[in-house]
Amino acid sequence: MMSDTKVMWICGVDEAGRGPLAGYVVAGAVVLDPHKPIDGLKDSKKLSASRREFLFEQIQLKAKAWGIGQASPVEIDEINILQATMLAMRRAIEDLTTRLGGWPDKALIDGNRCPELPIAAEAIIKGDAKEPAISAASILAKVTRDRQMIKLHERFPQYGFAQHMGYPTEMHFAALKEFGACDEHRRSFSPVRNVVEMASQVAKI
């Protein structure tokens, strides 16, 4: 006799890139397949770059479904980084639904807030260290964003994006002061806004 018990698909969601001064904020969403376990899932920040790359491929091969969403620097400036993060997370889950064939039953969100979704959602502080599906999502988001920043470095090598990934380091601050902001910088973030305003004042002199 066949069981009529419905499989519950739980989606883990995490983001990368809330703190940087440049680039997209990127979110990952993953529904793991219990029949295809992935060894070594943990918070992406605790993994080496090479290990993240390996697990990135494993997740895409073995997960039941996965998705990636993002919000641009322009969107970040228009709606603020928190709302842009929520938007990227929703987009990641929507991307996942195309592979899953519908919405998952529930979303586990890393952090203390959930995006607006048509499904149940639960925010879990430090969820990337507690829930394997969130760990997997953090790896997807981190690798995707790092790859974007390396490509951005090719366009704007003067900023050193491949070294600091857009985060507010001394190297990045120095480059901002010397070269000003590029079109991928987040102008709503005060260090960038200050540089832009200073350049505007100098131009008026």
pLDDT digits (tens, 9 = 90+) for 100-113: 999 999 999 999 99
Domains of the chain: 10-157 (3.30.420.10)
Q: Which pLDDT value is given to residue 161?
A: 97
Q: What is the pLDDT of residues 149-159, one digit of tens each?
A: 999 999 999 99
Query: Residue 45: is its pLDDT beyond 90?
Result: no
pTM: 0.92
Kindly state the percentage of the chain with pLDDT values over 90: 88
Q: What is the identity of the amino acid at 19?
A: G
Least confident of 28-37, 52-61, 154-163, 187-196: 187-196
